[in-house]
């Protein structure tokens, strides 16, 4: 009985979230002083990289306000961000830069995300939406001076994790019969990723050859890393990068460095609780990931660069 009701309950939840976000958005003032809001920070990384567990850990910190994947707020800022088509039927963008930012969207960002009601004013509001790693230019225009925490995980592990979710596809919402849990309504996220990625120079001659979910997941990982690299120099010391392996192997040091990066303390009680929340890393072994030649070359370059042991195999070698 409860399983039958879940899609309808989810539909009610998403309808309410859309209404609440749009209602709050109507209260913005074009002359709002954005300098009155807390510091903004973004937790980014390809999906399945460990952003969720790191976000949960940071959400317990007394000086932080944590926003978990607030797609409804982004859709209220600009419907063109709704690449999953959860709230709008629109040809949304996945890759976004400063050209997509308007003065209205900038004020709405501060009003909706940084102006969230808190019991006490946080020092930093940290937002976590993995696909935002492909929107750094847009985020940087919305929140000048924002900091970015980037977490990277083994690309083969990522690819198969994405495949599992995209294939399982057990998450249903009433009224959205064509919803894929990873690629969105009518697989629109994949369509946008392939289109925007090719237009940005990411393997335009190879992306149409990708058919399996694991290969599409590898492409998402590559584009995410590529976009971070494009912005690395400009962000400078506003970018802090870690790997999932570092987080699980030495959480105390990694979390301490994140706190220093955010200019906040790392209370001992919080740190001990956080360490207990982070479990050991698990790697896939014996899995074959085959990719078109140029993708495979760059995929293995990143694997080596971040000291990950898995490697992809070029299609022609199989």
Any idea what the Cα angle at residue 222 is, between residues 98 and 300, rounded to 5°? 145
Among 53, 84, 103, which residue's Cα sits nearest to residue 282? 53
Cα 239 to Cα 73, 103, 235, distances in angstroms: 24, 24, 6
User: What are the residues facing 40 on neighbouring strands?
Assistant: 125
Residues of the chain with pLDDT under 50: 317-318
Among 35, 95, 76, which residue's Cα sits nearest to residue 228? 95
**How far is the C-alpha of 105 from the C-alpha of 97, rounded, in Å?**
13
DSSP-assigned states of every residue in the chain: -HHHHHHHHHHHHHHHHHHHHHHHHTT--TT--GGGSPEEEEEE-STTSSHHHHHHHHHT-TTEEEEE--HHHHHHH-GGG-TT-SS--S---SS--GGG--HHHHHHHIIIIIT---SS--SEEEEE-GGGGG-HHHHHHHSTT-EEEEEE--HHHHHHHHHHHHHH-----TT-TTEETTTEETTHHHHHHHHHHHHTTS-TTTGGG--SHHHHHHHHHHHHHHHHHHHHHHHGGGEEEEEHHHHHH-HHHHHHHHHHHHT----HHHHHHHHHH--------S---EE-HHHHHHHHHHHHHTT-----EEGGG-
HSE (side-chain half, CA atoms, 13 Å) at 303: 20
CB 167 within 8 A of CB 109: no
> How many CB atoms sit inside 10 A of residue 74's CB?
27
Q: What is the pLDDT of residue 122?
A: 86
CB 179 within 8 A of CB 185: yes
Q: Which residue has the tokens 């400078």?
A: 236
- CA quadruple 120, 125, 127, 133: dihedral, nearest 10: 180
Q: What is the pLDDT of residue 179?
A: 94
Q: What is the CATH number of the domain that holds 228?
A: 3.40.50.300
CB 180 within 8 A of CB 126: no
Considering just the CA atoms, what is the radius of gyration of the chain in Å? 20
**How far is the C-alpha of 76 from the C-alpha of 87, rounded, in Å?**
9
Q: What is the pLDDT of residue 3?
A: 73
CB 219 within 8 A of CB 295: yes
Among 252, 164, 253, 163, which residue's Cα sits nearest to residue 210? 163
Among 123, 107, 96, which residue's Cα sits nearest to residue 41? 123
Number of domains in the chain: 1
Domain that holds residue 122: 2-317
pTM of the predicted structure, to 2 decimals:
0.95
């Amino acid at each position: 009985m409860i399983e039958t009701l879940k899609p309808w309950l989810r539909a009610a939840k998403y309808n309410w979230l859309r209404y609440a976000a749009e209602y709050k958005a109507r209260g913005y003032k074009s002359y709002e002083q954005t300098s009155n809001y807390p510091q903004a920070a973004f937790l980014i990384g390809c999906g399945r990289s460990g952003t969720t567990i790191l976000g949960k850990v940071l959400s317990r910190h007394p000086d932080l306000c944590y926003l978990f994947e607030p797609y409804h707020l982004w859709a209220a800022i600009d419907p063109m961000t709704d690449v999953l088509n959860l709230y709008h039927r629109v040809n949304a963008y996945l890759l976004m830069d400063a050209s997509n930012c308007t003065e209205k969207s900038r004020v709405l960002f501060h009003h909706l995300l940084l102006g969230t009601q808190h019991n006490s004013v946080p020092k930093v509001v940290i937002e976590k939406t993995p696909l935002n790693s492909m929107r750094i230019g847009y985020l940087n225009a919305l929140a000048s001076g924002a900091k970015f925490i980037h977490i990277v995980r083994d690309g083969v592990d990522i690819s198969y994790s994405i495949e599992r979710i995209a294939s399982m596809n057990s998450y249903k919402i009433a009224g959205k019969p064509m919803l894929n849990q990873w690629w969105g309504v009518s697989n629109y996220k994949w369509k946008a990723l392939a289109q925007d990625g090719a237009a940005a120079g990411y393997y335009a001659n190879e992306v149409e050859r990708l058919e399996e979910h694991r290969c599409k997941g590898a492409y998402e990982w590559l584009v995410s890393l590529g976009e971070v690299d494009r912005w690395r120099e400009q962000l400078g010391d506003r970018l802090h990068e870690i790997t999932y392996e570092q987080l699980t192997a030495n959480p105390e040091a990694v979390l301490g460095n994140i706190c220093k990066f955010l200019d906040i303390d790392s209370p001992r009680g919080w740190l001990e609780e956080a360490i207990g929340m982070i479990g050991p890393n698990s790697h896939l072994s014996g899995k074959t990931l085959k990719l078109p030649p140029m993708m495979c070359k760059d995929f293995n370059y990143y694997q080596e660069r971040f000291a990950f042991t898995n490697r992809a195999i070029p299609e022609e070698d199989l």
